[in-house]
Structure 1
Amino acid sequence: MARMFGCPCCQPGADLPEGFVPDHPVARRGVMIAALAGLGASVAGPVLAQGATRSLRVRRQVTGDSFSGVYFRNGRYDRPALRQLDYVFRDLSKAETTPMDPRLFDVMSTVANRMDSDEHYEVISGYRTPETNAQNASRSRRVSQVSLHMSGMAADCRLPDRNSREMARLAAELRLGGVGLYTSNGFVHLDCGPVRRW
């Protein structure tokens, strides 16, 4: 069941994050999210060199939790690094962590590299439980009922040393997944789902 998301960690022989089991909530998300993820699975791959080392610098805006380092090397995702990233991207209101889709980190890493930024991403929102997402959707029409945040495939973030509008433009041009610009809040939504823009 977990493989329906096309997650590179879930392929046979992959180095799975500790604690990941197919019955985990990330594997039980709705059919619509699975379909969206499947469409996006073929998008991010061609842009990234398969054997390249990939790194990311992120800091959670509210808590200050951070990660700075390599999360992919020698053709494999690094389990301890993914666990640290899962923690940084956790749902803060429910204090719940889920295995994030590492393709999201690939998207973020690619965007930061193309923007020539060495700054930490400020992460406003990462994983959201269905309950948290429903609460957010009840407060704002801009929150999707089937948000990819619920499957660990999306982040709302900004690069402090770069213009958010330029970041959204570049991310959309790269066609790695979904891109949403929230000018009033100064952040960009990035995900590893199907290519779309708002």
Structure 2
Amino acid sequence: MRRSFGHGGLWSGACPCCGPEALVPEHAVPRRGLLAAVLAGAGAVAAGPVLAQGATRSLRVRRQVTNDSFSGVYFRDGRYDREALRRLDFVFRDLSRAETTPMDPRLFDVMSTVARQMDSDESFEVVSGYRTPETNAGNARRSTRVSRVSLHMSGMAADCRLPGRNSMQLARLAADMRLGGVGLYQRDGFVHLDCGPVRRW
């Protein structure tokens, strides 16, 4: 099941991977494995093509509100740089709980590839990265647009914007690349990117 971006860029429905039909009780699965059941039946995990690109991979990100940032290489000589990943984990932390988690580095591959394809050397502005189950549940109570089984809880997703680039343009390019999930929130001016199954909403 796939959804296309709606006319006018407004929310056009829940993510088919994270919608009500895919709900998993939070208490039933450990935090890091929360979405395993969802992903197992949702098709092959994307971002494979990204992993084969380039001897080095770099990323520029800045966190909204705190201005914490990372700019540099996070993958070199065939492996991820642990210190760079640790620094990225901090930038992508759950701000409301002041809690970090090991982010899935394939998310950084997706973001790096999108920035490269958009010919941008600007820093992604990260609106939301990792969310604890508690934070996500609170957000879901306040808005029907927040999935209760979000990939944010597994460190696989980011809501972000790229300065100087239109959110619709960014979302369309990312969706065409088929690297993972892409959600357009044009009204709010950001795009959801993740390294889960290929889908769009």
TM-score (norm 2): 0.81
2:35/2:154 contact within 8 Å kept: no
> Conserved in 2, the CA contact under 8 Å of 1:37 and 1:192?
no
Name the structure 2 match of 1:5: none
Q: Is the 8 A contact 1:153 1:193 kept in 2?
A: yes
1:39 Cα deviation from its structure 2 partner = 2.8
User: Which of residues 96, 107, 126 in structure 2 aligns to 1:93?
Assistant: 96
SS of 2:172 mapped into structure 1: helix
C-alpha distance in structure 2 between counterparts of 1:36 and 1:143, whole Å: 21
Distance 1:34 1:197, change over 3 A: closer
> What's 1:80 paired with?
83
**Conserved 8 A contact 1:165-1:183:** yes
Aligned-residue offset at 1:38: 7.3
Which letter maps to 1:153?
M
Judge conservation of contact 1:36–1:193 (CA < 8 Å) in 2.
no
Distance verdict in 2 for CA 1:170–1:30, change over 3 Å? closer
Partner of 1:140: 143
Q: Name the CA distance, whole Å, in 2 between partners of 1:26 and 1:86.
A: 16
> What is the DSSP-based 3-state SS (H/G/I as helix, E as strand, rest coil) of the residue aligned with 2:44?
helix
Greater RCO (CA < 8 Å, at least 6 residues apart): 2
Code of the residue aligned with 1:183 in structure 2: it is Q
Aligned pair count reads: 172
Does 1:156 find its partner at 2:149? no
User: Any conservation in 2 of the 1:112–1:118 contact (CA below 8 Å)?
Assistant: yes
Q: Distance in 1 between matches of 2:113 and 2:96?
A: 29
1:35 Cα shift? 2.5
Q: CA 1:55–1:97 in 2, change beyond 3 Å: closer, same or farther?
A: same
Deviation of the 1:49 alpha carbon: 2.6
1:109 equivalent in structure 2: 112
Q: Report the equivalent of 2:44.
A: 39
Q: Determine if contact 2:39/2:196 at 8 Å carries over to the other structure.
A: no
Residue identity opposite 1:99 in structure 2: P
Contact 2:34 2:154 in 1 (8 A): yes
Q: Secondary structure at the match of 1:185?
A: coil
Paired-residue identity, %: 78
The 3 A distance-change label for structure 1 pair 77 and 38 is: farther
Kept in 1: contact 2:107–2:157 (CA 8 A): yes
**5+ unaligned residues in a row in structure 1: which ranges?**
1-24
Cα separation, partners in 2 of 1:162 and 1:141, compared to 1, 3 Å: same
Unaligned runs of 5+ in 2: 1-29
Quick check: 2:50–2:109 contact (8 Å CA) kept in 1? Answer: no
Aligned-residue offset at 1:46: 2.0
